[in-house]
Chain A
Amino acid sequence: MSVVVREHRLRLSHGLAVAAALATVAAVRVGMLGLVAGFGGVLLLVTGLVWRSRGLVALAGVGLFGATVLVAAGPGSLVATLVGAFGAVLAADFGTFALGIDRDVDPSVATTRVEALHAVGSLTVALLAGGLGYALFRSVPRGSTLGVVALLFAAAVLAAVLRP
């Protein structure tokens, strides 16, 4: 029986994924439950990257995001919530992108440029959306949570509808 042997190569996206996950952990450190969930997410992420499992990496993202929600529901600050949430999504994004690259090209191929472009795109979205969220949260009058909910809901529906 033949055995498939696949070499590993540490890529930029691997490092960025772990960095984003650690940023989430740093953001949720104020809550013990969130911290435990955050470290669990990091562990899952690293395991997923080593085992090349997209499912595990996606699960790690959900775990990190869950940690952020736990902290946001308790002692978390506005900045910590945004950093944690975006860090979780970016960790999963970078991680799955790295796995896709691993899957498609040999370890000998340098892919830093592609990975950097992807990372810049995702980081830009995170910064813009985070800034917008921050501004929205700070500027809206107290008690207008319903409006924010409606806006989020509208954005989600429109995003799904307006593109083919």
Chain B
Amino acid sequence: MNRRHLLLPVGVLAAAAGVALTLRPGLVPSPWLTSGFVLGVWVVGLVGAGVAVLARLTGEADDTGRLPTAGERPAYRVPGDGLADRTAAVGASGRDATERDRIRDRLHDAAVAVLARREGIDEADAGDRVDAGDWTDDDDAAALFSGTGSRHDHVETGFARRVDAAAAAVADLFDAGVSVAAEHTDASEAGEEVPGSATESVTLELDPGEELLERSGRWRGVQGLALAVTAVGILVGAPLVILSGVVGVAFAAYARLWDAPSPTLGVERVVSETDPRPGERVEVTLSVRNRGDRLLPDVRICDDVPAGLRVVDGTPRHTTALRPGKTATISYTVEAVRGEHAFDSLAVVTRDISAASRRLARLPTESATVTCRPAFGEHSVSLGDLATLFSGRTEVAETGTGVSFHSLREHRRGDPLGSLDWGHLAKTGEFATRRYDEPRTVRVAVLVDARAAAYVTADDRRRRPAVDVCTCAAGALVAGLLEDGALVGLGAVGPRPCWVPAGNGRDHRERLLRTLTSHEAFGWGPPDPVTVDARSPDGEQSRRGADPTAKVVRSAAASEDGGVTMADAPAGGPTVAVSDGGSAVVDEQSGDTGESASPDEHDADRDPTETAKTLLADIGTRLPADAQVVFCTPLADDAATAVGRQLHARGHDVLVASPDVTGGDTPCRRLAGVERRLRLDGLRRDGVTVHEWTPPTDPTADAGWSV
């Protein structure tokens, strides 16, 4: 028996007593009984008032039940912000000593590496100097690692201040060492008008087709108020005060008369352009019709604008009252950016007329898709010497039966007579054999870092993620390398699997560029654990993934223009498939996504090498041994560096193309920039070719790289 069952007879008895006492005031002659009843109501009133106050104080947050926001790109972090947050969250007590030491270790490693690089000393000596505190003039920075500021297992105050000082000191030391001022320009500081604005972000955690009814709590406490007033009225013996309690009762009952109506809506959505160019404006017109037979006194709608699209005019959110059969229409304009953006749902919140209850729903709608394919351009890079055995057009360090002269070498028994260099014989009297270049076909796999850790931005107002920059760079590379005659494949390093085997030809180029445009692995929303975990064991894709019903065509098919698509996957390994639409999917045999589901790739506690092995567990098996690899990554964490090293260690010629997506306006952001530069240096030392550039922060621009 619950509380309601206990209260119901109480209410019925009280009502009966009230009616009886109203009709016959002298029904209860006993004074003690009257006093007892009054005292009881008084106690209940006070308790009700207490409950009302408590409910208000511990009530739900303002964000609960809010209409979600839309029309702004996800709030990507700037590298270093995670460290700043961790530092701000850490306390001064001994309980947080472990976390403080983790942060301290990270800064210590950076300080040592920068000092060793700048002074040209080994890291052991640099470590001694950092520990001794004579690496910087800033006392706070030095105190983080030395003297009384060093490791504690008790209370440590001023930690955040020392971290900021140390981060700034490390960055200053690094900048002084390379004699390069920070290249980062804050658009707002430069007086440039920055599109978009910082807005509060509210999300509705419902899938299409789901709805949720909840009480808003706006009338919470009104019953307690009524009882309290009644109690006061009895205490002071004022009938009018008792009467005022009727207010609370009336509105308490009003708040419980109806539930928020379930919306039966017909939704039509029209987009003005389905294949815009980047930066082009697309008007979206949304019509919502009440197809039910009940009045919707308060219906609030928010169109689910796909991640990446920013509303530049109008609003996707609206509030109105809809009678049956009536239609409300809104329109707004978005700025197109790379991607295939599907408008396929609508967030709706309805309220009853008292606004005491609300029904939150996400309605599936007919899909309207906007596909924005950038020009990508063409960009070629100098590759390594690794090549296939096939003749081709790429000059490699191989000699053979080509037509271009390569070099001379001493004549050996068996060399064809026609290869003798008679001019050399005439000059020197020695036999020599002419060698000719033998152009080969080079196979290149372009990999894009699409992990959650790569969804960082240099400008948290423009919000262009590094994944977009890397994707645009990959597109330019794909076009450039194919133009040079290479066989080019494409893959994503991240939890959302994408792999297109190497090939060439016009159709293959289209397939690659279409994949870069529309595959979810390169989308604007970072992967989350749900994306991976939600996949069924048989590999079903997430909702916004490639169409799982798409007809699967095995690789090793000749393309229409005569180009070759080569099957790279080893027998028995996860099978790669390419859908009719050209987007790559992994079929049922591929159970491993190649990465753990955790989006927290910034976690410095995880071993980067192990993480890299996990990341490459899947895609590494697809890479042919003779493939060169171009890895596009912002190098936002050590795991990205480890991926480059792992690929290099497996015998591939590796080129890391790294856009600089770091900020420079806070100490922690500057430190993150330094750490990235140190990663680049480390890769170079390991023999990995590295190209870096500073990309434009405008999401409608191309990769903007110049190698």
Contacts and interface: CB of A to CB of B under 8 A. Distances in A.
B254 A125 contact: yes
Contacts of A78: 240, 243
A154 B252 CA distance: 12
A85 to B, nearest CB: 4
A54 B66 CA distance: 14
B627 interface: no
A149 B669 CA distance: 65
Interface stretch (B3-11, B405-413, B548-556, B557-565): B3-11
A2 B460 contact: yes
Contacts of A58: 56
B251 interface: yes
Contacts of A68: 244
Interface string A45-73: 00000000011001000100100110011
A101 B319 contact: yes
B386 to A, nearest CB: 46
B318 A105 contact: yes
A153 B11 CA distance: 8
Contacts of A129: 246-247, 249-251
Given A150-B18, A158-B15, A105 B317 contact: yes
A59 B242 CA distance: 21
Interface residues of A, number: 74
Contacts of A149: 18, 38, 41, 230, 234, 242
A114 B320 contact: yes
Contacts of A158: 8, 11-12, 15
A118 B355 contact: yes
B34 A146 contact: yes
Interface string B229-253: 1101110101111111111111111
A69 B241 contact: yes
Interface string A137-164: 1001111111111111111111111110
Given A3-B198, A147-B25, A163 B244 contact: no
Interface in B236-287: 236, 238-254, 256-257
Interface residues of B, number: 79
Contacts of A38: none
A93 to B, nearest CB: 8
A114 B319 contact: yes
Given A81-B243, A152-B246, A153-B44, A161 B4 contact: yes
B446 to A, nearest CB: 34
A97 B245 CA distance: 22
Given A2-B461, A152-B230, A161-B4, A103 B66 contact: yes
Given A147-B18, A147-B19, A157-B7, A103 B62 contact: yes
A157 B10 contact: yes
A148 B66 CA distance: 40
A113 B244 contact: no
B243 A97 contact: no
A94 B557 CA distance: 68
B226 A152 contact: yes
B199 A155 contact: no
A126 to B, nearest CB: 7
A96 B218 contact: yes
A82 B243 contact: yes
Given A100-B355, A118-B353, A160 B252 contact: yes
Interface in B23-60: 23, 25-26, 28, 34, 37-38, 41, 44, 48, 56
A82 B250 CA distance: 12
B18 A153 contact: yes
A86 interface: yes
A124 B390 CA distance: 86
A89 interface: yes
| Ranked 9 nearest A-B pairs via Cβ | A2-B198, A129-B250, A150-B18, A147-B22, A147-B21, A151-B18, A163-B256, A157-B11, A154-B14
6 contacts: A89-B247, A89-B248, A143-B26, A149-B18, A153-B230, A160-B7
Interface of A: 2-5, 54-55, 58, 62, 65, 68-69, 72-73, 76-78, 81-82, 84-86, 88-89, 93, 96-97, 100-101, 103-106, 108-109, 111, 113-114, 117-118, 121-122, 125-126, 128-130, 132-133, 136-137, 140-163
Interface of B: 4, 7-8, 10-15, 17-23, 25-26, 28, 34, 37-38, 41, 44, 48, 56, 62, 66-67, 197-200, 218, 222-223, 225-227, 229-230, 232-234, 236, 238-254, 256-257, 297-298, 300, 315, 317-321, 349, 353-355, 460-461
